[in-house]
Structures are given as structure tokens and as C-alpha cells.
Structure 1
Amino acid sequence: MTETRSDYLRQTFRLRSPWRAVSSMFMLNGALFGIWASRIPAVSEFHGLSPGGLGLLLLLMAAGAILSFPLAGRAADRIGAAHVTRRVALAYVLGLVLLALAPTLPLLAAALFVFGAAHGSMDVAMNAWASEVEARAARPMMSSFHAMFSLGAGLGALSGYGAASIGADITLHFLVVGSVSALLTLYMAQIPWVANPAPMGGAAKPSLLPRGPLLAVGFVAFCGAVGEGAMADWSAIFLVLTTGATEADAALGFAVFSVAMVAMRLVGDLVVTRIGAVAAGRLAGASASLGALIAVGWGSYGAAMAGFALMGIGYALVMPLAFSRAASDPDLPAGAAIASVATFGYGGILIGPPMIGITAELISLPAAFLILAALAVFIVMFSHVLRRS
């Protein structure tokens, strides 16, 4: 009996390996974001928001995340990325619930700021933890971690489809699905992990923005990230307003986009090995641009879903390619280079949704989506900067 229990405990510890621990945090981060994204139409309808009003509220969410970046980075350096990731994950779940509980626009704005700050903090901390795990394993892992984020986002969006289909209250949906997701993933993340101490000199003066050749790499990451952020917050509303889809059917849009991203990220390393980083970047930009044009040009639900899938395939490769190029930069250490490019990238994710909302208010939502097609063309044009040094 003692031997059986000992074997079971050893198997449990192996189940909670460093890769699975970090992957679970990426999955939780994506799931909470997908849950929110899938129910944006319902929240917008409840508060009577116009596209411009929703865009301004999403700008508050972006502000919360941007302000949290340096704080989370400093905390990860001083306390440990694993510790910060697990603690901020709880705050992220709380932020999701606050979004559903907010009865007025001012409270919704405050909740969005908190939600954005928690999302941004967890994003920084979990990527720092991922880089530690990757360094100790001495083999590439970052693409697989980002695939888990996309998988989590897709599952979160699917939960929105299910909840909307049965007419579930937003508060019940966010509370139940968010809490269950957190319990399962945080269990996997409970592993002993001691980070290597960060050099205090490097931590005191982080490189917030890319410089020199990395500026072009950051621009490529920005173009891709704007599309990712816009799809998360506007894909469902796009389907409702341009194709007449129901709320439940509209929730599937981001799910299709996320599943396409997961599939491409799982084979992304093989694609880059076969055709090279530059060709992969051009393929990514072309796929994303074509997808946006199809979604806008045909105006039907099926065409829009096909376009979303092509956009997911394209955007899936952009950030991993940009991070890989940054890590090989000859002038900066890998960590500093990746952090500077990530600032551009995640800034794009946050800027994209309010930019689409403001453009939709001034012109139209389909015209706003054409911005995504244009930015994807820039990815094709600048893909030569993705060649590893």
C-alpha cells in the first residue's frame, strides 16, 4: 500500500512539470480573455454602448495593462516570475467577475481598468517564467507556450457560445467558468521553482522600446499584434453587425480564429525549418491580409468565418518569428531584446481594439477591418528583418 501511494505521488509530481505548469498559466490567461471577448456583444447591449463608446472603454483596459507592465516586470525580478504569475492569476479571475457585476458605465470602466491591469501583469510574469523554463531546458519552447494561450482563448470563447446558447447570465458564466478554469490550471502550476537571481543593474534600467534594427522587428510584431487584439474584441461584433449573426453564432468567430492559431503554432517550428523565417513571415502576412479582405468583401457568415481562419493562421507565426529574431540579436542580450520587441507587440494587442472602435464610429466597421489587411501587407514588406542574425 505504501509503495502504491509513493508511485502515485511521483506520477503527480511529473504531471506538474515545469512545461505543464507554465502552459497551464498561458492557457488560463487565454481562457479568461476568450471568455470576456465572447460576451462583449452582451455586455455592450446591456450598457447600450455604441462602437465608439466601446472603443473608449477598451482604451481604459489598454491603459491598465500598459501601466502594469513595468510594475509586473519589477515584481517578477524581485519576487520571482512563478510566484507573481500565480498570484496575479487570482486577481485576473476577480477582474473578470467584476466586469459582469458592474451595473453602471463608471463601474464597468473601473472594472475594465482592473481587468486590463491583471491581464497585462500576468502576461509579463508568465512570459518571464516561460523564458526561465526554456533556458533551463536548453531547447525552444516559447511557440508551444503561446499555442496554449491560443487554445485557452478558443476554449474560453466556446464557453461563451455555450452560455449564450442556453441564455446563461453573464455573471454566472464568468464566475463559474472563470473559477473552474483557475482551479484546474493553478493546481498544475503549483510546482517548486526557484528562479536564478536577476542582475540588479539590468533590472534597474530595462529596455522598454526596441532600438536600431530591432525597431523594424518591433514594427512587424506590432502589425501582427494589432490584428490579434482586434479579433479578440471585435470579431463577434463584426459578425453581428455585418452578417446578422446571432450572439451565439457570433461567439464562434473568435473560437475559429483561436483554433486556427493553435493549429499553426503547433506546426510553426516545422514550417520555419522548412522554408525559413523570411518566407514564413511573408506567408503569414499574406494569409492574414487575404483573410481580412475575404471577411470584409463577401459579407456572409461563412465567408467571414473562413477569413477569420486565414487570419488566425497568418497571425499565429508573427510573434514567435519576431521573438526568435530578437533572441538572436548581436547587440543586445536575448532577454532585453525580447522584452523590447514584446512591448511593441503587446502594445499592438492593446491599441488594436480601441483603434478599430474609433474608426468604426467615424467610418464603418468593415472599413476599420481593412486597416488589418493593410497592416498585414506591411508584415509581408518587412519580413526580411525576421532573418536571424
Structure 2
Amino acid sequence: MGRDRIAVFAVFALNGAVLGSWSPRVPAIAEQVHASPGALGIALLGASIGMIIAASLAGRAIERIGARAAVAAGVVASVLLLPVIGTATSIFVLGLGLAGLGASVGTWDVAMNIAAVAVERSAAKPLMPIMHAGFSVGALVGSALAGLAAGNHWTPGSHLLVASAVTLLLLLTVIRSVPGVEPRTQAQTQPRARGSLLRRPLLWLLASIALCSAIAEGASTDWSALLMVTEHGVDQGAAALAYSVFSLAMAAARFGGTWLQQRFGATATLVFGASAAAVGLLLTAVLPFAAAGYIGFGMAGAGLSAAFPVALSLAGHAGRRSDGSGGERELAFVTMIAYSGFLIGPPVIGGIAQLTSLSWSFVVVAVVAGMIVPSALLAARSGARETRRVSSRSAGA
């Protein structure tokens, strides 16, 4: 494995570790700032909004300064903000810190995916699922260490300060191997001949794939334990294992994602994965057995493992220039829409559960996951049309 692949994998792992480090400390931080559930919800919403805003602006910036510089900036901002969150003494400071962290992580996220696309182009094979496996591994390690810190009565401030220092040190060991590009001139960054991003059906279809994946993944993250308790009758300790099964299945499947994509192609990988995820989520919703819940969440984790990374990879390649660069704006566009799934998904699912039941909510989530199938098939057709159009235009020139 080349140094650039190892470096980008490490950057993905660090991104997951940062998110995995602070999320488990939310109860302690909420107690520290004396936050009511409503106020805490607004503060947490700030992180999602920060990520969406950053993603919408990141493409143009990264196009000029390169993925390496943007990754470095995002990591440095994140490690400065983590101790602020950990030592916050008011809901206002916490909200500002989370909004800033969301923006920095959002920039970092877009930049590392662009770096992964550059590595894919260099290797001439799909590597994005493996890179996203790095994120999954990092999140698991970060959350495990957060639990260890909490179990040993570390304050959030002390824990997140140490996590920040370790993250920065690890970044310094790999950042020089992360792919970077030279700043582009104004002429080079003008919209391409293929038209505005908003007028390209391919990008909207890829964004819908990422959006549906984000909603289904967010539902499994936020609601799996409660579903296991209320609908499957297990205790809270056993219920927590549902998300662990989901996460481990996703990480394992992502390590095999490159082989699957090379063997069957991106479209087939998306279609079969989404079908498995939809069936798995449906099992968790309609069968009242605990075993069905665990099996279903395992199927969902494995099935959704390819959706987000493959959609981003295809978006990056859809913006490729003749010199082999490009794709920054296309990838940022798809990422921005996908992030909105993490924002709108939880309240919508909660609203459906309030009106019906949590089981019916997961039936809806299964349908959302299944919508990836037609989007993937239509994206394949749209991509082929774009390729033919560009080829004919080049031949005519």
C-alpha cells in the first residue's frame, strides 16, 4: 500500500475518532453546562448546521488551496475546539463550540474525500469504501476510549484535551503524504462546459443516494437501541449492542468494498447493498424477535456500507478535468445535500413514531434505503449520457 493511501486512510480514521471522542461525553457535558434537553438539542443542531454550511463552501476553497491544506486546516480547527467544548460552562459557549466543530469537521470531511478520489485516480481502482472503513474504525476506537475515560472519571475537558493533542501529533506524521494540488487560477476554476452543478441530473441522483444513506444510517445510530427496548423487549445493555452490530458490519463490509466494486461495478454494488439494507431494516421493524433485530441491523450496516463512499467517489470522478484533477465542487455539492439527511432524519423519524410507533418509523426508513436502488440505476444512465455528450463535444472540437 502506498504512502498516500495510508495517509488518507489515517486522516479518515482521525476524523472518525474526533467524532467518536466527543459524542459519548455529551451527557457529562450537558450536566456540566446545566442544559435542559431542549437547549441541548439546539446546541447539537448547531453542529449539523455548521457541517452543512462548511460543505456548501468547501468545494471552491479546496479547488484553490488543495485537499492537503484543507485537511490540515480542518484538523487544527477541530483540535482547538474540542477542549472548548469539553470545558464549556454555559450552553451558549457549548453551542458556539459545536457549530465551529461542525464547520471544521465538515471542511475536513470534504477535503479528505477529495484526497481519496485523487488516490483512486492514481491507483486506477476504487478505494473509497476502504477509506470510509478507516472512519468507522476511528469512530469505534474514539468512542471506546471515551467510554474508558468516562469510566475512570476523567472530566470532559481533560479527556478532550488529550484527544486533541494525540490527534494533532498523528496528523503531523501523515499530512505530507496526503495528496495536494497547486492553487488554481481564476480561469481554471470557472464552471466547466458541462454546465452548472444544479443543472446536472447525475449529481442530484448521486446526492439522493448519499441523502438516503445518511437518513438510514442516522436512524440506525440514533434509534436502534430504543427500538430494541420498546419493540423487541431487551434490556438497555443488550439494546446498545444493536448499534455495535450495525457499526461492525459496516466497517467489515467497507474493507471488502473495493473487491466488490471491482468485481461487480459501482451500480451493482449500490443496488445489492441497498436491497440488503432495506430488507434488514424491514426485519427489525416487523419481526418481534430480538435476534431479528440484531440480524437486521447487521444487514443494514453491511448494505449501507458502500452507498455513501461510492456516491462521493462517483461525484468526484464526474468533475474530472482533462488534466486529471477536478471534482471538488461536485463532491462538495453531494456532501452538502447528504449532510441534510443527518439534520432532518431524526426529527422526522421521531414524529412518525409519535404518531404511530417506532416500528412504523423503521418501515419508512427501510423504504428510504430502498430508494437508493432506482437512484443508482438512473445515475448509471445519466452518467453514461454525460460521457457520450462530452465525447461528442470533444470530437466536434
TM range (shorter): 0.7 to 0.9
Q: CA deviation at 1:295?
A: 4.0
CA–CA separation in structure 1 for the residues paired with 2:347 and 2:47 = 9
Question: In the alignment, is residue 224 of structure 1 matched against residue 216 of structure 2?
Answer: no
After TM superposition, the structure 1 stretch with the greater mean CA deviation from structure 2, 162-171 or 79-88, is 162-171
Percent identical among aligned pairs is 36
Q: Of residues 245, 254, 266 in structure 1, which corresponds to 2:255?
A: 266
Q: Of residues 28, 50, 60 in structure 1, which corresponds to 2:46?
A: 60
Cα offsets for 1:313-336 (capped at 9, x unmatched): 111111233245445659998715
Q: Of residues 301, 311, 322 in structure 2, which corresponds to 1:312?
A: 301
Q: CA deviation at 1:355?
A: 4.2
After TM superposition, the structure 1 stretch with the greater mean CA deviation from structure 2, 378-387 or 111-120, is 378-387
Q: CA deviation at 1:235?
A: 5.0
Which residue number in structure 1 is paired with residue 16 of structure 2?
30
Which residue number in structure 2 is paired with residue 107 of structure 1?
93
CA–CA separation in structure 2 for the residues paired with 1:168 and 1:241 = 32
After TM superposition, the structure 1 stretch with the greater mean CA deviation from structure 2, 53-62 or 82-91, is 53-62
Contact persistence 1:38–1:251 (CA under 8 A) = no
CA–CA separation in structure 1 for the residues paired with 2:370 and 2:180 = 43
Q: 1:266-345 residue pairs with structure 2 within 5 A?
A: 266-297=255-286, 304-326=293-315, 335=327, 336-345=329-338
Q: Describe the shift of the 1:386–1:118 C-alpha distance in structure 2 as closer, same or farther (beyond 3 A).
A: same
Gaps of 5+ in 2: 385-397
SS at match of 1:203: coil
Q: 1:120-159 residue pairs with structure 2 within 5 A?
A: 120-159=106-145
Q: Of residues 184, 203, 206 in structure 1, which corresponds to 2:189?
A: 203
Q: Describe the shift of the 1:189–1:306 C-alpha distance in structure 2 as closer, same or farther (beyond 3 A).
A: farther
Q: CA deviation at 1:224?
A: 0.6
Q: Describe the shift of the 1:173–1:331 C-alpha distance in structure 2 as closer, same or farther (beyond 3 A).
A: closer
Q: 1:2-13 residue pairs with structure 2 within 5 A?
A: none
Q: Describe the shift of the 1:344–1:25 C-alpha distance in structure 2 as closer, same or farther (beyond 3 A).
A: same
Q: Describe the shift of the 1:103–1:241 C-alpha distance in structure 2 as closer, same or farther (beyond 3 A).
A: farther
After TM superposition, the structure 1 stretch with the greater mean CA deviation from structure 2, 282-291 or 230-239, is 230-239
Contact persistence 2:242–2:297 (CA under 8 A) = yes
Contact persistence 1:55–1:356 (CA under 8 A) = no
Q: Of residues 236, 245, 248 in structure 1, which corresponds to 2:236?
A: 245
Q: Describe the shift of the 1:266–1:219 C-alpha distance in structure 2 as closer, same or farther (beyond 3 A).
A: same
Equivalent position amino acid for 2:298 in 1 = A
Question: In the alignment, is residue 89 of structure 1 matched against residue 89 of structure 2?
Answer: no
Cα offsets for 1:317-360 (capped at 9, x unmatched): 11233245445659998715444333333332444345445656
Which residue number in structure 1 is paired with residue 395 of structure 2?
none
Contact persistence 2:353–2:359 (CA under 8 A) = yes
CA–CA separation in structure 1 for the residues paired with 2:172 and 2:5 = 13
Cα offsets for 1:243-264 (capped at 9, x unmatched): 5425xx7766544433222211
> What TM-score does the superposition give when structure 2 sets the normalisation length?
0.77
Between Structure 1 and Structure 2, how many residues are aligned?
372
Contact persistence 1:157–1:252 (CA under 8 A) = no
Equivalent position amino acid for 1:99 in 2 = I
CA–CA separation in structure 1 for the residues paired with 2:320 and 2:36 = 47
Which residue number in structure 2 is paired with residue 172 of structure 1?
158
Which residue number in structure 2 is paired with residue 378 of structure 1?
371
Q: CA deviation at 1:123?
A: 0.9
Q: CA deviation at 1:25?
A: 1.1
Gaps of 5+ in 1: 1-13
SS at match of 2:236: coil
CA–CA separation in structure 2 for the residues paired with 1:375 and 1:214 = 18
**Considering only aligned residues, what root-mean-square deviation do their CA atoms show, in Å?**
3.7
CA–CA separation in structure 1 for the residues paired with 2:361 and 2:30 = 19
Contact persistence 1:59–1:351 (CA under 8 A) = no
Equivalent position amino acid for 1:134 in 2 = E
Q: CA deviation at 1:82?
A: 0.5
> What TM-score does the superposition give when structure 1 sets the normalisation length?
0.79
Contact persistence 2:11–2:112 (CA under 8 A) = yes
Q: CA deviation at 1:33?
A: 1.2
Contact persistence 1:290–1:373 (CA under 8 A) = yes
Which residue number in structure 1 is paired with residue 389 of structure 2?
none
Q: Describe the shift of the 1:131–1:263 C-alpha distance in structure 2 as closer, same or farther (beyond 3 A).
A: same
CA–CA separation in structure 2 for the residues paired with 1:191 and 1:216 = 33
Contact persistence 2:9–2:131 (CA under 8 A) = yes
Which residue number in structure 1 is paired with residue 55 of structure 2?
69
Cα offsets for 1:222-270 (capped at 9, x unmatched): 1012223444455566667775425xx7766544433222211111132
CA–CA separation in structure 1 for the residues paired with 2:200 and 2:158 = 46
CA–CA separation in structure 1 for the residues paired with 2:362 and 2:142 = 23
Q: Describe the shift of the 1:76–1:265 C-alpha distance in structure 2 as closer, same or farther (beyond 3 A).
A: same
CA–CA separation in structure 1 for the residues paired with 2:135 and 2:218 = 13
Equivalent position amino acid for 1:344 in 2 = I
CA–CA separation in structure 2 for the residues paired with 1:150 and 1:168 = 24
Question: In the alignment, is residue 187 of structure 1 matched against residue 173 of structure 2?
Answer: yes
